[in-house]
Amino acid sequence: MRLFPRLLLNHLAVMAVLSVVLLVAAELAAHPFIQHHVNEMVQLLGDAGAAMRGDLNEGMRATLTRALFSALPPALLVAAVTAWVAARRVTASVRTLQAGSAALARGEYRRRLPEGGQDELAELAHSFNTMASTLASVEQSRVELIGNVAHELRAPVAAVRGYVEAAQDGVMAHDQALSAIQRELAGLERLAGDLSLVSRVEAGQVELTLQDVLVAALLAQVQDRYALAFEDKGVTLQVDAGRAGLQVRADPARSAQILANLLSNALRHTAPGGAVRVGAQDAGGGVRLVVQDTGTGIAPEHLHRVFERFFRADAARTRGEGCGVGLTVARGLTRAMGGELSVTSTPGVGSVFQVELPASRDRLDPPAFTET
pLDDT(158) > 60? yes
What CA–CA distances, in Å, run from 300 to 192, 315, 325, 351? 31, 16, 20, 11
pLDDT(363) > 50? no
Q: Is the pTM of this model over 0.85?
A: no
Class of domain 211-363: alpha beta
At residue 317, the pLDDT reads 46
| Contact partners, residue 282, CB within 8 Å, separation at least 6 | 242, 243, 246, 288, 359
| Nearest of 278, 291, 275, 282 to residue 219 by alpha carbon | 278
Segment 237-250 mean pLDDT: 85
pLDDT(55) > 80? no
* 124-202 against 211-363: fold identical: no
pLDDT(318) > 50? no
At residue 272, the pLDDT reads 93
- CA 10 from centre of chain: 39
Segment 69-83 mean pLDDT: 75
27-31, 207-211, 296-300, 353-357: lowest mean pLDDT where? Answer: 27-31
Q: What element of type H or E holds 275? A: strand 275-283
Say how far apart CA 326 and CA 321 lie, in whole Å: 10
215-224, 300-309, 320-329, 334-343: lowest mean pLDDT where? Answer: 320-329
At residue 24, the pLDDT reads 76
Higher pLDDT, 89 or 276: 276
**Helix axes 215-233 and 252-268, enclosed angle (nearest 10):** 30
Segment 235-260 mean pLDDT: 88
16-30, 94-108, 241-255: lowest mean pLDDT where? Answer: 16-30
Say how far apart CA 258 and CA 357 lie, in whole Å: 11
pLDDT(33) > 70? no
Higher pLDDT, 26 or 270: 270
Domains in the chain: boundaries: 3-108, 124-202, 211-363
Instruction: Give the CATH number of domain 124-202; options: 1.10.3720.10, 1.10.287.130, 2.40.50.140, 3.40.50.1370.
Output: 1.10.287.130
At residue 235, the pLDDT reads 92
Say how far apart CA 371 and CA 259 lie, in whole Å: 21
Say how far apart CA 219 and CA 215 lie, in whole Å: 6
Contact between residue 222 and residue 330 where contact means Cβ atoms under 8 Å apart: no
Q: Highest mean pLDDT range out of 59-68, 164-173, 312-321?
A: 164-173
Contact between residue 233 and residue 266 where contact means Cβ atoms under 8 Å apart: no
Higher pLDDT, 91 or 219: 219
pLDDT > 90: percent of the chain: 13
**Which of the four pLDDT bands, split at 50, 70 and 90, describes residue 100?**
confident
At residue 365, the pLDDT reads 41
Segment 311-322 mean pLDDT: 54
Say how far apart CA 215 and CA 246 lie, in whole Å: 6
Higher pLDDT, 159 or 85: 159
Say how far apart CA 161 and CA 157 lie, in whole Å: 6
Contact between residue 12 and residue 78 where contact means Cβ atoms under 8 Å apart: no
pLDDT(52) > 70? no
Q: Highest mean pLDDT range out of 19-28, 57-66, 162-171?
A: 162-171
The pLDDT mean for the chain works out to: 80
pLDDT(322) > 60? no
SS (H, E, C) 143-211: HHHHHHHHHHHHHHHHHHHHHHHHHHCCCCCHHHHHHHHHHHHHHHHHHHHHHHHHHHHHCCCCCCCCE
At residue 57, the pLDDT reads 67
Higher pLDDT, 82 or 253: 253
Segment 100-111 mean pLDDT: 84
pLDDT(207) > 60? yes
**Which of the four pLDDT bands, split at 50, 70 and 90, describes residue 289?**
very high
